[in-house]
């Protein structure tokens, strides 16, 4: 079975801007403290899940989730009426993941000295079980270059349309579509042997 994605959601009252600091987004939210509570309580799980899918490490995902909300709360006045809250928040999550990925990308994705990268998934003969395939997909996504993994997670797990992914990442829709194509192509190359024959291409 896939690993459950859970988080402790530990926060302190002194994080983020002053809750008495005034109105938000031209009167959309009168109390920043209320907005902060709504943001964290309403979206903590999905931000944690986003980070966990990219790193597959509970402590790292928790730390990145904390950083995401910290950045979002510091930038709370950039939220505007008419903006999709999830898209705005995932923009901060993507920046945190990108910053973290940039620090380790070269090491993680360098070719191995002693041959090609080991395939992801079971090595025994016969078709993969649904659980084995799910695990291989999860591990494959985590192994993607950060920019590709972010786009794919936002698309397939968060169900954001290309336009909103582009808004969150501050890139063009054309680049989003390319990243999604590249992510799927790379993932399929890693786990293609585990897929049913009819969907390997």
Higher pLDDT pick, 50 / 3: 50
pLDDT of residue 106: 42
pTM of the model: 0.72
DSSP letters for 14-35: TSSS-TTS--BGGGTBS-HHHH
Domains of the chain, earliest start first: 25-108+127-199 (1.20.140.160)
Q: Are 94 and 100 in contact (CB under 8 A)?
A: no
How many CA within 13 A on the CB side of residue 155?
19
3-state secondary structure 102-135: HHHHHHHHCCCCCCCCCCCCCCCCCCCCHHHHHH
| Distance separating alpha carbons of residues 189 and 140, to the nearest angstrom | 10
pLDDT digits (tens, 9 = 90+) for 35-72: 788 888 899 999 999 999 999 999 999 999 999 999 99
pLDDT digits (tens, 9 = 90+) for 102-124: 655 444 444 434 344 444 555 45
């Amino acid at each position: 079975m896939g690993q459950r994605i859970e988080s402790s959601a530990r926060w302190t009252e002194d994080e983020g801007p002053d809750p008495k600091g005034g109105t938000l987004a031209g009167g959309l939210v009168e109390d920043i403290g209320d907005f902060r509570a709504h943001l964290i309580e309403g979206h903590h799980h999905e931000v944690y899940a986003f980070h966990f899918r990219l790193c597959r490490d509970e402590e790292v995902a928790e730390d990145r989730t904390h950083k995401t909300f910290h950045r979002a709360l510091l930038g709370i006045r950039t939220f505007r009426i008419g903006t999709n809250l999830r898209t705005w928040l995932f923009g901060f999550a993507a920046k945190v993941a990108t910053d973290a990925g940039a620090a380790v990308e070269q090491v993680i994705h360098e070719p191995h000295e002693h041959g090609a990268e080991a395939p992801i998934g079971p090595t025994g003969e016969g078709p993969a079980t649904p659980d084995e395939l799910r695990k291989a997909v999860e591990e494959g996504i985590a192994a993607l270059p950060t920019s590709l993994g972010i786009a794919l997670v936002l698309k397939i797990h968060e169900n954001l349309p290309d336009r909103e992914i582009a808004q969150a990442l501050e890139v063009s829709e054309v680049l989003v579509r390319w990243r999604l194509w590249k992510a799927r192509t790379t993932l399929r190359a890693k786990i293609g042997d585990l897929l049913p024959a009819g969907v390997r291409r």
